[in-house]
Chain A
Amino acid sequence: MKLLSRNEEIVLLAILRLKQNAYGVTIREQVSEATGQDWSFGQIYVPLDKLTQKGFVIKTLSEPTSQRGGRSKCMYTLSSTGKQALKEIRQIQDSLWDGIPEYAFD
């Protein structure tokens, strides 16, 4: 199975952190804050779509609000496979980082 890409991982983690409040706007804020760069919506939607296609996130619609011009939000939550994928990439990362001392970066 192909590993998660960096962007996908970041988006997944953002969704996880946002708990019940993960949709386009909030995900973008979260990710921009964490990385320190201003992500565009396009950069969010593309990985989101891929993740949806792979079945790592589940999409649900919320109530419409007037602030959005009467449109509802697409809320995202992780699926079990999504959580699995995150755990997997974490494991791989840990095992790669294991045993590398701090002074290796001098």
Chain B
Amino acid sequence: MRERSCPPRLAEWLFRIFLRKDDRFHRLGDFEEVFHTVFVSEGRFRAWRWYWQQIVRSVPELAMNSFYWSAAMLNNYTKIATRNLKKSKGYSFINISGLAIGMACCLLIVLYIQDELSYDTFHLNADRIFRIVASSSEDGIPTNANGIFGTGPALKKDFPEVQDYVRIRRMGQGTKRYVGYGDRKFYEEWFFFADPNIFTMFTFPLIRGDAEKALTEPNAIVITETMAKKYFDNEDPMGKTLKTDPYNSGEMMLFQVTGIAKDVPQNSHFHFDFLATYSNQKEDLTSFNGFMQNFTYILLDDASSANVLESKLLDFLKRHWREDPYYTNHLQPLKDIRLDSHLRSEIEPNGNIAYIYVFSIVAVFVLTIACINFINLSTARSAKRAKEVGLRKVVGAQRKQLMVQFLDESILVSFLGGVCAIVLVALLLPVFNSISDKTVTLHFLLRLTPLAALLGIVVIVGFISGSYVSFVLSSFAPVQTIKGVSSAGGGKRRLREGLVIFQFVLSIIMIICTLTAQKQIRFITSRSTGYHRDEILVIPLNKDVRAGYMAVRNELLKSPTIHNTTTSSYVPTRGSFHNGVTFEGRDEVLTQVLYFIDKEFVDTYGIQILEGQDIISETIDPSHSEFLISELTVTEAGYDSPLDALGKQVRYRNVQGVINGVVSNINLYSFHKEPWAMVFFVTPIEYHNYLSIRLDANRYGEAMAHIQNVWKRLIPDYPLVYFFLDASFEKMHRADARLGVIFRYFGLMAVIVACMGLFGLASFSAEQKTKEIGIRKVLGAPIISVYLLLAKSFMKWVLLANIIAWPLAYLVMKQWLDNFVYRTRLDLWIFMASGLASFTVALLTVSWQSIKAAVTRPTESLKYE
């Protein structure tokens, strides 16, 4: 009596998976036979063990085998698919390129987003680093990214959760600072003083030098790789001395190179070229007064202690500074800076999370349009494939097989589209880089995330489009299709029309957005800022100019092309200094933007005086100063009107006097922000940083030549460095200009893809109607009527698309324009223009096919049954 034994169920089940379907049953029998033999001869345990051993050894082979077979099948399908594609080159081209464009857009945007989100993430401590920002208003919204010197060390002393702090002080903003080694002399923009812990708290690796000690000693400096090359070529920079003038005062400071750092990667919210020992600065580094271009970062023991710490900061300020601080501090997470932070005095302009949203939406738009195209074209052409499907079914193809085949075709097209997309992206990268201000190279693409994203997109697009198509196509009843009854169209037609309309809606919206963006940019650039920015040239001051300013000014004014010159502590678009000012009639100190000027400032800048008069006094007397204030200050100080403000007392530190005049508001930076309340008064030139020259814009060449001449003669030791104020202003709006460019490109692409779709459909429709057209012509219809017949239905769609698109676009643009303090109007002509554009484009697209169909001789069209 033999025990009925069975092989282990689990193992059998595993085999079932890997053995191919056809032989599965019988091969399991093989296993069972041997199992029994072993069982009988050696017992149950051995038998079981043998079975499991077999699994472990066989499964890899079998797995590969099944892949091989599936691959063989796929290969077959792919061959057929390729043959099909080649047969209808036109449609295939439209399909693939449409998809390629859509995918390329998506890819570029993925690259952009990936880069933006990766900012500052390379620091090991990134999650625990916070920046100290200040808010000067009562509602506690941070306004300033920069801060005072004393906060950092005091925080570490007072609070145990603050493990470390690093302060950096930027010296290169506005004017570049002199740095020289031997005969290599340049003006540098990214010169910082930094605390020694910058290399341990942040992750800026050093190629040479000791990270712990590089900046602990005074008079030390760490330079980046690129700077090492720039100043030392192939010489070893370590230990050499650089001559620098960080304060732009003429007093040289010498620093010894103690380290070479790797270049700061692009995705950092700030970049440095030089880091010098913090203690070398001239100012009192424990002071709690005066916001310089100083930035404090702290490292917390745990990110969650941030909130609690922040609530203690007001008391902290009261303890160390004064009973009544006129600003409070807040903590800003390091990783939020890039996308969220738009405070005053940011080291570098930051990105905007709004852009990420906008771009994502745009990408999805274009990709959707491309997919819709694909689906439309494929289903529209189903009539042609109907016979093929019918035949296959007759010969025995199962529905599932057909579906797999059509799915495979879709994925193939999608895949080809993906490949083309990569090529497109490679071609478009330079344009993309210039628009987005990045330096993305192709090997960014070859990293895991973008490739995975692309693969995902390819598969999803292919799948979604393909499944619908294959569903429709494989459902044809064989007899019907062979008989020639065209079952394509009908109920599906509504859907297809809807899809085309949707495409056009999207395209029209993009056109409207583009036009609006252009209009807004033009509006902004032509709007007045409150001063004559298009005629002003600015030169940073240096020791020699300060010393001999009167002589320089007299020489400059000798040419009729120079209207006036002035010196000031700051100029618009180049930094600002905020501090507290006391006004008569107000108890609390008001924070104002302070400009130290000379008496020619108002005239040189062409600022309008609303009430009162300009500064007249030739001498400077701190106890009897003349103040000019802006319109906004009048309101802030609580005066009833500019007239009312005249004569009121003002005090700033040890300078006091009366308000001489009220000037109109000035946009100091860009049109994104409201103008700021400003206070102007005269100080000696030692406190000024810029020389501004107003020249005759019509005789610019002459003026420049004259300026250069004077400079060469009177200031021979310093090269002439200058910038134009309007260029500086325009830079502030680059982001918006860029957005406009982006809309233009994407809008163009969306329109192209939509047109492709329309073209495909139009040709299909024309083909469908060939017989009808032929008959009509035989019956005597003129060509025009045939043409109208075809074109009419399409035009109706475009009209509908316009009707839908206009209100949507209006809403979107309104949202965007609300970002601006000064905005242009959404005129009707924008909408009409885009409507006209869409009509024209659609008409052209449809016309070609329609005309071709209309002029075909009836004999041709009626020939085929």
Chain A residues with a Cβ under 8 A of chain B: 23-25, 28, 40-43, 45-46, 49, 61, 64-65, 67-69, 71-74
Query: Are A49 and B20 closer than 8 Å at their CB atoms?
Result: yes
5 nearest A-B residue pairs (beta carbon): A42-B58, A42-B61, A71-B29, A68-B29, A40-B57
Cross-interface CB contact of A74 among B26, B33, B58, cutoff 8 Å: B26
Query: Are A43 and B27 closer than 8 Å at their CB atoms?
Result: no
CA distance A43 to B60 in the complex (A): 9
Query: Are A71 and B60 closer than 8 Å at their CB atoms?
Result: no
Give the interface centre of A49, A61, A65, A73 by most chain B CB atoms within 10 Å. Answer: A49
Cross-interface CB contact of B27 among A40, A45, A67, cutoff 8 Å: A45
Q: How far is the CB of A71 from chain B (nearest CB, A)?
A: 3
Pull 20 A–B residue pairs with CB atoms less than 8 Å apart, ordered by A: A24-B30, A25-B30, A28-B30, A41-B27, A42-B60, A42-B65, A43-B58, A45-B62, A46-B62, A49-B23, A49-B65, A65-B29, A67-B32, A67-B33, A68-B33, A69-B29, A71-B26, A71-B28, A73-B29, A74-B27
Looking across the interface, which residue of chain A has its beta carbon closest to that of B12? A69
Cross-interface CB contact of A72 among B26, B36, B54, B61, cutoff 8 Å: B26
CA distance A61 to B29 in the complex (A): 12
Binary flags per residue of B261-286, CB closer than 8 Å to A gives 1, else 0: 00000000000000000000000000
Query: Are A74 and B32 closer than 8 Å at their CB atoms?
Result: no
Number of A-B contacts defined by CB within 8 Å: 71
Query: Are A45 and B33 closer than 8 Å at their CB atoms?
Result: no
Query: Are A45 and B34 closer than 8 Å at their CB atoms?
Result: no
Query: Are A42 and B29 closer than 8 Å at their CB atoms?
Result: no
Chain B residues with a Cβ closer than 8 Å to the other chain, count: 25
Q: Give chain B residues whose Cβ lies under 8 Å from the Cβ of A49.
A: 20, 23, 65, 69
Q: Give chain B residues whose Cβ lies under 8 Å from the Cβ of A40.
A: 54, 57-58, 61
CA distance A40 to B60 in the complex (A): 11
Binary flags per residue of B13-33, CB closer than 8 Å to A gives 1, else 0: 000000110010111111111
Cross-interface CB contact of A23 among B6, B20, B30, B58, cutoff 8 Å: B30
Looking across the interface, which residue of chain A has its beta carbon closest to that of B57? A40
Cross-interface CB contact of A46 among B28, B32, B34, B65, cutoff 8 Å: B65
Q: Give chain B residues whose Cβ lies under 8 Å from the Cβ of A46.
A: 61-62, 64-65
* B515 is an interface residue with CB less than 8 A from chain A: no
* B650 is an interface residue with CB less than 8 A from chain A: no
Given A43-B61, A69-B6, A74-B27: 7 more A-B contacts, CB < 8 Å: A41-B54, A45-B19, A45-B23, A45-B65, A46-B62, A68-B32, A73-B26
Q: Give chain A residues whose Cβ lies under 8 Å from the Cβ of B19.
A: 45
Query: Are A45 and B26 closer than 8 Å at their CB atoms?
Result: no
CA distance A28 to B30 in the complex (A): 10
Q: Give chain B residues whose Cβ lies under 8 Å from the Cβ of A45.
A: 19, 23, 27, 58, 61-62, 65
Binary flags per residue of B501-519, CB closer than 8 Å to A gives 1, else 0: 0000000000000000000
* B59 is an interface residue with CB less than 8 A from chain A: yes
Query: Are B62 and A42 closer than 8 Å at their CB atoms?
Result: yes
Query: Are B36 and A41 closer than 8 Å at their CB atoms?
Result: no
Cross-interface CB contact of B57 among A42, A64, A68, A73, cutoff 8 Å: A42
Looking across the interface, which residue of chain B has its beta carbon closest to that of A59? B23
Query: Are A24 and B32 closer than 8 Å at their CB atoms?
Result: no
CA distance A45 to B25 in the complex (A): 13
Q: Give chain A residues whose Cβ lies under 8 Å from the Cβ of B25.
A: 71
Q: Give chain B residues whose Cβ lies under 8 Å from the Cβ of A65.
A: 29, 33
CA distance A69 to B28 in the complex (A): 9
Give the interface centre of A64, A69, A74 by most chain B CB atoms within 10 Å. Answer: A69
Q: Give chain B residues whose Cβ lies under 8 Å from the Cβ of A68.
A: 29-30, 32-33
CA distance A73 to B64 in the complex (A): 23
Q: How far is the CB of A29 from chain B (nearest CB, A)?
A: 9
Q: Give chain A residues whose Cβ lies under 8 Å from the Cβ of B36.
A: 67
Q: 8 Å CB contacts to A: which residues of B818-840? A: none
Given A49-B20, A49-B65, A67-B36, also A42-B30 (CB < 8 A): no
Cross-interface CB contact of B31 among A41, A43, A64, A72, cutoff 8 Å: A41
Q: How far is the CB of B36 from chain A (nearest CB, A)?
A: 5
CA distance A46 to B62 in the complex (A): 7
